[in-house]
């Protein structure tokens, strides 16, 4: 069953009536390849450059964002696997079963030996919470919104904004080159 995609306005609110959104963070998708892969030395990649390798597609929340970006870039990705869990995707990339695209936030604290490479053009994503408008949210909902808002700005992610790669080692250390 297909789910309709809600459109967002610049103010962060959902275009659908009856739903308000609270922006939490911005993130971007990056290509991930095994550290020994020929593309691992690149500062930036386009999605069509990933088409020559088996592609591990997220079947979770980022899947539609990845396929939409590939369509816009006219990239014909060779999807060899569809995997829901990002940690499994990273393990498969490390094992050289293919390449993938994942959010930078998913690289935080990972123990896989993979290299993250910025995409050109950039593929941003916004993270937020959606609540129904009208009425008053429950005390638990209000408390959750406050905690989530306070926690969101402190999240750190590997910085690939200037190009270059982030190598995540087995010890969980991240190095920028």
Nearest alpha carbon to residue 93 among 63, 120, 54:
54
Q: What average pLDDT score do residues 56-69 get?
A: 93
Q: Residue holding tokens 């060779």?
A: 78
Count of beta carbons in the 10 Å neighbourhood of residue 111 = 14
Query: What pLDDT does 162 receive?
Result: 45
- Which pairing describes strands 114-132 and 44-45: parallel, antiparallel, or unpaired? parallel
Phi first, then psi: what are they for 92, rounded to 5°? -65, -40
- Is 176's pLDDT higher than 50? no
- Is 67's pLDDT higher than 60? yes
Alpha helices in 19-85 (DSSP H): 63-72
Query: What pLDDT does 60 receive?
Result: 84
- pLDDT tens digits, residue range 15-30? 456 888 878 888 899 9
Share in percent of the chain as helix, strand, coil (round to 5): 25, 35, 40
- Which pairing describes strands 114-132 and 165-168: parallel, antiparallel, or unpaired? antiparallel
Beta-strand runs (E) in 86-163: 99-103, 114-132
User: pTM of this prediction?
Assistant: 0.72
Domains and CATH numbers, the chain: 19-155 (3.40.190.290)
Cis amide linkage into residue 121, ω under 30° from 0: yes
Q: What average pLDDT score do residues 64-70 get?
A: 95
Q: What average pLDDT score do residues 27-47 get?
A: 95
Q: Which position has the higher pLDDT, 130 or 122? A: 122
pLDDT-based confidence at residue 123 (cuts at 50, 70, 90): very high
Q: Which position has the higher pLDDT, 52 or 130? A: 52
């Amino acid at each position: 069953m297909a789910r309709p995609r809600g459109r967002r306005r610049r103010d962060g609110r959902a275009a659908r009536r009856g739903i308000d959104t609270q922006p939490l963070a911005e993130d971007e998708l990056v290509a991930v390849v095994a550290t020994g892969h020929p593309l691992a030395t690149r500062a930036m990649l386009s999605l069509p450059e990933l088409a020559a390798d088996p592609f591990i597609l997220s079947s979770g929340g980022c899947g539609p964002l990845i396929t939409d970006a590939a369509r816009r870039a006219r990239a014909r990705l060779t999807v060899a696997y569809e995997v829901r869990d990002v940690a499994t995707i990273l393990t498969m990339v490390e094992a050289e079963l293919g390449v993938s695209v994942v959010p930078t936030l998913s690289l935080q604290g990972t123990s896989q030996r993979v290299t993250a490479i910025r995409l050109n053009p950039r593929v941003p994503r916004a993270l937020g919470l959606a609540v129904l408008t009208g009425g008053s949210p429950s005390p638990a909902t209000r408390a959750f919104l406050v905690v989530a808002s306070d926690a969101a700005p402190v999240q750190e992610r590997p910085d690939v904004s200037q190009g270059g790669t982030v190598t995540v080692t087995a010890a969980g250390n991240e190095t920028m080159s």
